[in-house]
Amino acid sequence: MNISVVVHGDDGTVVDRLESHRGVLTVARTCAEIAEVIALCETGLADAAILAGPPEEVETHDIDAMIERGVPVVVLCDDAAQGKRLAAAGAYVAATGTPAAELGILVGRARAELGHREHAPEPVQPGEPAGGGTPKRAGIVVFWGPVGSPGRSLLALNYAVECALDGKDVVLLDADTYGASQAVQLGLLDEAAGIAQICRTVDSGRFDATKLERSCAPVVIAGARMRVATGLPRASRWPELRPTALRRAVLALQEGCDMIVIDVAAALELDEELSFDTAAPQRNGVTAAMLRIADEIYAVGAADSIGVPRLIRALEEMREVLGELEVKVLFNKVSAANVGASPRQALAETWARFGPDVPVAGYLPHDPAAVDAALLAGSALAEIAPHSGLRVAIAALAGHKIKAKMPLLRRFAPSM
């Protein structure tokens, strides 16, 4: 086996070491600029990149650019702090004096591990320590669904609130690159976009959960506190959300909370590269990246004659684009007016006949009065309409048991 490598920032010692060893690594080119290394990765000339220059000059987005082109990155570094930063960014880190034989083994392992994940557009974190202690890991719940406003954002917010009321430390992320709405639902005037600040923090090489949480606005609803990373106030700012950066941010946040709830956009097609000669930013890459790392995915569909077919087609598209993912269906806005008599039974029969093999996790009642009141107040159902049927159903979905308020029966005195 022969592996072609591009070496950056070398003073000649690394190349001499590799060529004198005559092992599996063959030096295809030496480069003085990172941009040149990325260009060579684009051409397919490099099977791997070895960065031997000053580690502080290696940026996270540069590592992303190489890994996104299928080229693993090995950084030679003796500084522990820089090594930790680069490993968290997705690079393999080795000491500057590592023998050529060990570098060959490391590069071979890096290529093998990256090859197992070629289906994913975003890089993984191969530099994570193996066999270490088990850190705290929050669950990731993603609310997704087809176009047509089925209620993804509403359910994501209220689900997060119910988890917070159940005593969990919750972070809500608005990752909708087309129409972010969590700030509006909560009455927050936020032009800074907490989700974009999180990505910038990761791009600067800081992966500490505490630092990332500072970009999330604290919100108190019905006595429960949670944190919210607000979305982009203008859809044109979508390039600020790089899938790789947001993915790393979520993985870092998992160490500091109990639950991460993510609201994503509907679109899934990843065909932006067809319009460009080189790799281009992908607006829908954020949705794809969040769905791939989710522990639970709720596909939200409107319970009507338009919403159900849209949901079926969207799930088929998800399977085509992302492969087999474990998904649960939520029918929202369930009412007899939309579906007919016995709406739950009708939906269940329709889904069993026409829908894909995806379980239905819940049927959420249509309660426009409670939803409108909560939106007008900039709050959640738990605070504005705590006994509404919709709030009770969402709480049950989140595992927060509450009881619906029973209507009072008026007593009449017996007639004489």
Helix (H, G, I), strand (E, B) or coil at 356: coil
Chain-centre distance of CA 119, in angstroms? 16
Which parts of the chain sit beneath pLDDT 50?
A: 116-133, 273-277, 406-416
| Cα Rg of the chain, angstroms | 25
Amino acid type, 222? A
Query: What is the SS3 assignment for 202?
Result: helix
Question: 301-332: buried (b, 16+ CB within 10 Å) or exposed (e) per residue?
Answer: bbbbeebbebbbebbeebeeebeebebebbbb
pLDDT of res. 412:
43
In the prediction, which pLDDT does 403 show?
A: 62
Q: Is 47 helix (H, G, I), strand (E, B) or coil?
A: coil
Distances (CA, A) of 210 to 193, 257, 285: 18, 10, 26
Strand order in the sheet with 328-334: 217-221, 224-229, 170-175, 259-264, 139-144, 296-302, 328-334, 360-365
What are the backbone angles phi and psi of residue 233, rounded to the nearest 5°? -70, -20
What amino acid is encoded at 226 in this protein? M
Residue identified by tokens 């650019």 is 65
Which secondary-structure segment (H or E) carries 21? helix 13-21
Please tell me the predicted confidence (pLDDT) of residue 410: 44
Rounded Cα gap, residues 238 and 195, in angstroms: 11
Q: Read off the pLDDT of residues 97-145 as tens digits, 9 standing for 90 and up.
A: 999 999 999 999 998 887 644 433 343 333 343 334 455 688 999 999 9
Map tokens 């974190």 to a residue. Answer: 125
The DSSP secondary structure of 222-267, one letter per residue, reads: TTEEEEEE---SSGGGGGG--HHHHHHHHHHHTTT-SEEEEEE-S-
Q: Which residues contact 335 (CB under 8 A, 6 or more apart)?
A: 303, 343, 365, 366
Which H helix or E strand runs over 350? helix 343-354
Nearest-5° Cα angle at 273, 297 to 90: 60
Q: What are phi and psi of 112, to 5 degrees?
A: -65, -45
The neighbouring-strand residues paired with 139 are 259
Which value, to the nearest 10 degrees, does the dihedral of the CA atoms of residues 191, 193, 197, 203 take? -110
- Tokens for 151? 């209620």
pLDDT attached to residue 87: 86
- The pLDDT score that the predictor gives to residue 240 is 87
User: To which H or E segment does residue 73 belong?
Assistant: strand 73-76
Q: Is residue 183 classed as helix, strand or coil in its secondary structure?
A: helix
- Residue 92 pairs in a beta bridge with 74
CA dist 105 and 233 (Å) reads 47
